[in-house]
A = this chain, B = another copy of it.
Amino acid sequence: MLNFDFYNPTQILFGKGQIAALAKLIPADTRVLLLYGGGSIKQNGVFDEVMGALAGHEVLEFSGIEPNPSYETLMRAIELVKRENIGYLLAVGGGSVIDGTKFVAAGALLDEDPWSIFDKRSANVLSALPFGVVLTLPATGSEMNSGGVVTRRATHEKRSFASRKLYPAFSILDPSTTYSLPTRQVGNGVVDAFAHVMEQYLTYPVGAKVQDRFAEGLLLTLIEEGPKALSDPEDYDVRANVMWCATLALNGLIGAGVPQDWATHMIGHELTALYNLDHAQTLAVILPNMLRLRKEAKREKLLQFAARVWDLHGGDEDTRIEAAITRMEQFFEQMGVKTRLGDYGLKADHIDQVIAALEAHRMVKLGERRDVTLDVSRKVLEMSL
């Protein structure tokens, strides 16, 4: 097992009716800014439930945080926070709203352009406004971690940040708020959580038996529950399991003490920034061939994945590995997320642009062994056409 430093102070309030706890969780003597996305929370009742719980508070609103939240939009939120003397932020939504809120929480206290967070690798985030979360879309895990991703529309850059100052103080996870999610978001969320686990699990063995078992437990649960979330959208326990899986997939626990990959995510970010694919779509396209191409370096864990997650024991090693990857692809398709670049209208002549973007962002040595060069990334993209 590798040495690690695990810290996660976010309080999780999980279950039906937990939104009412907001009244006590947020201090009454400060102005609150409620941040959200496109307004679905006004249709499904969550907005009213939140405002009801905050009846004793002074609440302002900032709406319109888009999927893959933009620097341009978030700078307007930062201006509002400063102008209105906001003391507490409340993100109501999914990963984009939460990531955006983290950027606002840090950026509002900076004297320099908040974009500097990326160039300084968050070293200038010495403090942040306190913030909480009401999660309505299980997927990214942002509700219980300290990182985020922000896109600069003007330059097509999608950049990530993380700081120990940016854990939510609390996150409320009520699975029943996810009943009304569109099918596409449910499928994306399950694929996203699955890929998060794989980036931390599917590397090489370091004798970290608990982390492996926990990662496999999350994968098995996503495989069992994901399809049910599509077929029976109001099954509470199914939604609860998917929601808790997505949070635990990226809260630091399964990644503590093990090597981590993340090459798939880095290539995926470029596909989203350039062509606006959903985040999960990029992962469903890239991950399977990333594993195929790097089969030798990942052989031991691929065999473990085949045996423990897909119950594949017969045949020679290569057959088992290919069967496991194919089963994973089929699972992504079952969740409604297509797995070929062609499914999204992308062709061979787009690849140069993706490679150029990776090079521009210095993503030239990716993966747990830093051996995913631009050539490797190019091959994975070619295999995924």
User: Is A204 in contact with chain B by the CB < 8 A criterion?
Assistant: no
* Surface stretch bound by B, among A12-20, A68-76, A268-276: A12-20
Contacts of A220 in B (CB 8 A): 213
Contact B244–A210 (Cβ < 8 Å): yes
* Surface stretch bound by B, among A3-11, A45-53, A79-87, A105-113: A3-11
Contacts of A257 in B (CB 8 A): 14-15, 240, 244
Contact B3–A207 (Cβ < 8 Å): no
Contacts of A208 in B (CB 8 A): 240-241
User: Is A61 in contact with chain B by the CB < 8 A criterion?
Assistant: no
Contacts of A9 in B (CB 8 A): 7-9
Q: Which of B7, B207, B210, B253 contacts A245 (CB 8 A)?
A: B210
Contacts of A16 in B (CB 8 A): 3
Task: Name the interface size band of chain A.
Answer: 35 or more
Contact A207–B2 (Cβ < 8 Å): no
A215 nearest CB neighbor, chain B only: B217
User: Is A92 in contact with chain B by the CB < 8 A criterion?
Assistant: no
* Measured CA separation A13–B2 after assembly (Å): 11
* Measured CA separation A1–B11 after assembly (Å): 18
* Measured CA separation A11–B256 after assembly (Å): 12
Known: A209-B241, A218-B210. A11 touches B15 (CB 8 A): no
User: Is A237 in contact with chain B by the CB < 8 A criterion?
Assistant: yes
Bitwise, A275-297 to B at CB < 8 A (1) or not (0) is: 00000000000000000000000
User: Is A143 in contact with chain B by the CB < 8 A criterion?
Assistant: no
Contacts of A225 in B (CB 8 A): 209
User: Is A248 in contact with chain B by the CB < 8 A criterion?
Assistant: yes
* Measured CA separation A257–B244 after assembly (Å): 10
Q: Which of B6, B12, B209 contacts A4 (CB 8 A)?
A: B12
User: Is A260 in contact with chain B by the CB < 8 A criterion?
Assistant: no
Contacts of A236 in B (CB 8 A): 1
Query: Would you list 21 pairs from A and B whose C-beta atoms are within 8 A, ordered by A residue?
Result: A1-B241, A1-B244, A2-B15, A3-B14, A3-B15, A3-B18, A4-B14, A6-B11, A7-B9, A207-B237, A207-B240, A209-B221, A209-B225, A210-B218, A210-B245, A213-B217, A213-B218, A214-B214, A216-B217, A217-B217, A244-B257
